[in-house]
Amino acid sequence: MGRVQRRDFLIAAAALLAATVAAETPQGPKLPRIGYLGFNSAATGRDVFIAFRQAMRELGWIDGQNLIIEPRFAEGEVDRLPGLAKELLLLKVDLIVAGSSAATRASKFATTTVPIVMLASADAVGEGLVASLARPGGNITGMTFLAGPEIASKQLELLREIAPTALRVAVLMNPRNGSHAAFAAELKTAARKLGAQLQPVRAESPHQLEDVFAAMAKERAAALLVLTDAMFLGQRQRIADFARRGGLPAMYSQREFVVAGGLISYGPSLIDMTRRAAKHVDSILRGARPNDLPVEQPTKFELIINTKAAEALGVTMPQSLLVRADEVIQ
């Protein structure tokens, strides 16, 4: 055997020995695996997902190093959520992060043992996701927007301040959203006090939005209030565009709508809620039980205004609102 052949033989033998030893060596500790169940697409949910991963990193959990995150997105179709929740369970995830009320509900039906952490739910108690905020019970904890629908009356009040002559206000609702009936009742009471006439309009799928806005125009709606809903959030660009083309001053619940060209929003920060939910995930991964972790609510509500959108709609934004705004987008 020549020198070169002998060298190649030794290298091959060493590689084979190393592979054999590696195969026989016990693997290191199993990395925690969490499922991330988003209602919308990876594109429309990108900022929230990035915020979650960053928050986990700051807590010492780095995806791919000491943690595995398995993301699944329903592309705005609620009927896909149960299958995706089951898919995550087949991966033997240690925990499911649910991005919306619908994602939480699908996860709850899929498992009563694997911990579930809500990034955001509209009304966790009212929707029956948890027993109470202080003592959620079961395997669910996390963040909820509200303990009740009172925010809707404040949103209507702000909308009337912006558009005082817009007496007929369309209210965009999702009939598959379990919290919207309570919101509608709250708005009905507020509308009587504010002298507004409500026009409920309903869409449960992105495909229905164009017809819904056509119905608003036919009924001569003069303003629009969009209730909190994961599907609406995923369709925020289309909704903001429809409202602008229809000449409708519109109130939203999340900053993301205003960034997409909407007029004004009043509600909690999704990014802040996501970061706080990550602390629940951290606690559970370190041994806490979900039913020992109270469900938390937002501590700050943001008023965001888009002055460029106001100019396009011919709306004169009251100075009192501009001064109170947490952010003015120009």
Q: Cα separation of 282 and 59, whole Å?
A: 7
CB 220 within 8 A of CB 168: yes
In 93-150, alpha helices (H): 101-110
What's the order of all strands across the beta sheet hosting 168-173? 197-202, 168-173, 223-226, 250-252, 264-268, 301-306, 327-329
Mean pLDDT, range 126-132, rounded to an integer: 90
Listed as own residue / partner, the contacts of 126-133 with beta carbons closer than 8 Å and 24 or more positions apart are: 126/178, 126/179, 126/182, 127/101, 127/178, 127/179, 128/178, 129/101, 129/104, 129/105, 130/295, 133/294, 133/295, 133/296, 133/297
Strands 264-268 and 301-306: antiparallel
Q: What is the mean pLDDT of residues 51-70?
A: 97
User: Where is pLDDT greater, at 6 or 159?
Assistant: 159
Strand order in the sheet with 68-73: 68-73, 33-38, 95-98, 116-118, 140-142
Q: Does residue 92 register a pLDDT over 70? A: yes
**pLDDT tier for residue 6 given thresholds of 50, 70 and 90:** very low
CB atoms near residue 109 (< 10 Å): 12
As a whole number of angstroms, the distance between CA 96 and CA 127 comes to 19
Q: Does the structure show a pLDDT above 50 at 314?
A: yes
Least trusted range by pLDDT, from 22-26, 27-31, 310-314, 326-330: 22-26
Above pLDDT 90, what percent of the chain? 77
Per-residue model confidence (pLDDT) at position 140: 98
User: Burial code of 22-44, b = ≥16 C-beta within 10 A, e = fewer?
Assistant: eeeeeeeeeebebbbbbbbeeeb
pLDDT at 20: 38
Mean pLDDT of 127-153: 87
**Residue 177 — pLDDT band, cuts 50, 70, 90?**
confident
What domains lie within the chain, and their CATH numbers?
33-146+270-292 (3.40.50.2300), 151-269+301-329 (3.40.50.2300)
Is the pLDDT assigned to residue 12 strictly greater than 50? Answer: no
Which whole number is the average pLDDT over 201-220? 95
Average pLDDT over residues 212-237: 95
The neighbour count for residue 96, using CB atoms within 10 Å, is 30
% of the chain beyond a pLDDT of 70: 90
Residue 111 DSSP symbol? -
pTM here is 0.83
The answer to whether residues 149 and 123 touch, using CB atoms and an 8 Å cutoff, is yes
Structure confidence by residue, pLDDT tens digits, 227-248: 989 999 999 999 999 999 999 9
Listed range (26-40, 109-123, 156-170) with the worst mean pLDDT: 26-40
Q: What is the DSSP string of 223-288?
A: EEEEPP-HHHHHTHHHHHHHHHHTT--EEESSHHHHHTT-SEEEEE-HHHHHHHHHHHHHHHHTT-
The average confidence (pLDDT) of the chain is 89
Q: In the prediction, which pLDDT does 127 show?
A: 85
Supply the pLDDT for residue 152.
86
Question: pLDDT per residue over 255-313, tens digit each?
Answer: 999 999 999 999 999 999 999 999 999 999 999 999 999 999 988 789 999 999 999 99
Confidence of residue 58 (pLDDT cuts 50, 70, 90): very high
